[in-house]
Amino acid sequence: MATSAIGPGFITQTATFTSTLGAAFAFGILASVVIDVVAQLNVWRIVTVSGQRAAELANAALPGSGYLLSVLVVIGGVVLNVGNVAGAGLGLNALLGLDTKIGGLLSALLAIVIFTVKRAGVVMDWVVVALGLVMLALTVVVAVVSHPPVGDALRQTVLPDTVDFAVITTIVGGSVGGYMTYSGAHKLLDSGISGTEHIREVTHSATIGVMVTGLLRYGLFLAFLGVTASGVLLDVSDNPAAQGFEAAAGSLGMRMFGLVLWAAAISSVIGAAFTSVSFMTVFSTKVSGRLRTWITIAFILIGLSIFLVLGTAPVGLLIFAGGFNGLVLPVGFTIFMYIGWFRRDLLKGYRVPLWLLVAGTIVVAITWYMGARSVGPVFDYLSL
């Protein structure tokens, strides 16, 4: 879940919203972490205790709801993958100066090669981990060099000058929206972790995953805040994250960032396609083996085609992708809260702790409210 979340959209959204909101963005990060923790603790616990994948479990609880959930996840995955291809283009633009469309095209084709060659996929996994550490180091360097106003950031983490619901919806969608809500729980099921005896392990995994993404986002926020506070204006329509790293660490910093962004985007293209297609098995058991491979390749090509045809700025696509997935998040979460409250029979008699159900219900209400307030602004992101 954490590696899925920390992709090109995650980085670009953080740079853009820090540039537009300043220190007030800190509250959005805190709110998103709280929402993410509550959502993941409920969903992961319910999925792993039941031993069933999300779509099958939803269908068992409310006939037909699993199909709705799968459709939303697949559509959200397509939108997210359009953004991921755009992010890969931005990465190569920062690294090599390539046109973003050409970079996106080459990256999507490479992603297909990596997906179909198992050994290449293993190598790519290690490369992404290594470059993730590079990203962490770069973030620390930029945060130190840029001298961010830490006091103001801490104050506005709890007492913000402004609250933007569309921003919170977008970063929640970019970290636990769409397929990412369920990817970690499904990974645990694939590893044989299910049943009430593994609740503590599931809780620990969900919490650590959210905290890792939250801490890295806050670190990136401080880095970009320091850059903007020094007087540098980030052009939110033209790779603002790369501009931030260049302003603080020079041309080398920008190119290193471009490499990290590109690798994260490639990994996200494959992960979003593979996991989204896995939800299609609820419609037919034939979606497996070679057919599933071909559908996954087609999924990547669809995202590439939409990116090339739309001609929309990559930054706008990356932000919109998170916002869209944030808008559909409450639908699936509502289904799982229903299961937690009323369908103990599907949980083998297990009772989800009352405090967690109450917190989840509050978060469901909040996400529906924020979604209703955010529909217009989220679609406006496409014009960035």
- Residue 187: predicted pLDDT: 83
Query: Residue 291, Cβ neighbours under 10 Å: how many?
Result: 13
Q: 162: alpha, beta or left, given left = phi > 0 and alpha = psi -120 to 50? A: beta
Residue keyed to tokens 């297609």: 277
Measured CA to CA, the distance from residue 220 to residue 228 in angstroms comes to: 12
Res. 117 pLDDT band, cuts 50 70 90 = confident
Most confident of 151-160, 192-201, 302-311: 151-160
Query: Which of 335, 357, 145 lies closest to 230, judged by CA?
Result: 145
Q: Is the pLDDT of residue 124 over 70?
A: no
> 52-95: per-residue pLDDT in tens?
999 999 999 999 999 999 999 999 889 888 888 988 898 899 88
- Residue 367: predicted pLDDT: 94
Most confident of 21-30, 177-186, 212-221: 21-30
Q: Is the pLDDT of residue 301 over 90?
A: yes
Own/partner pairs, 255-259, CB within 8 angstroms, 24+ separation? 255/94, 255/95, 256/134, 256/138, 257/94, 257/135, 257/138, 258/90, 258/91, 258/92, 258/93, 258/94, 258/95, 258/96, 259/91, 259/95, 259/131, 259/134
Measured CA to CA, the distance from residue 371 to residue 330 in angstroms comes to: 8
| Strands (E) located in the chain | none
Which of the pair, 152 or 244, is modelled with greater confidence?
152
> 242-276: per-residue pLDDT in tens?
888 888 888 888 888 888 888 888 888 888 888 88
Query: Which of 167, 173, 184 lies closest to 328, judged by CA?
Result: 173
To the nearest 10 degrees (0 to 180), the angle between helices 8-21 and 240-278 is: 140
- Residue 63: predicted pLDDT: 94
The average confidence (pLDDT) of the chain is: 87
How much of the chain, in percent, has pLDDT values that exceed 90?
Answer: 36
- Residue 311: predicted pLDDT: 64
How much of the chain, in percent, has pLDDT values that exceed 70?
Answer: 97
> 187-239: per-residue pLDDT in tens?
888 888 888 888 998 999 889 888 888 888 898 899 899 988 888 888 877 78
Fold topology of 2-383: Amino acid/polyamine transporter I (1.20.1740)
Average pLDDT over residues 169-187: 85
* 3-state DSSP assignment of residue 232: coil
Q: How far is CA 315 from the centre of its chain?
A: 15
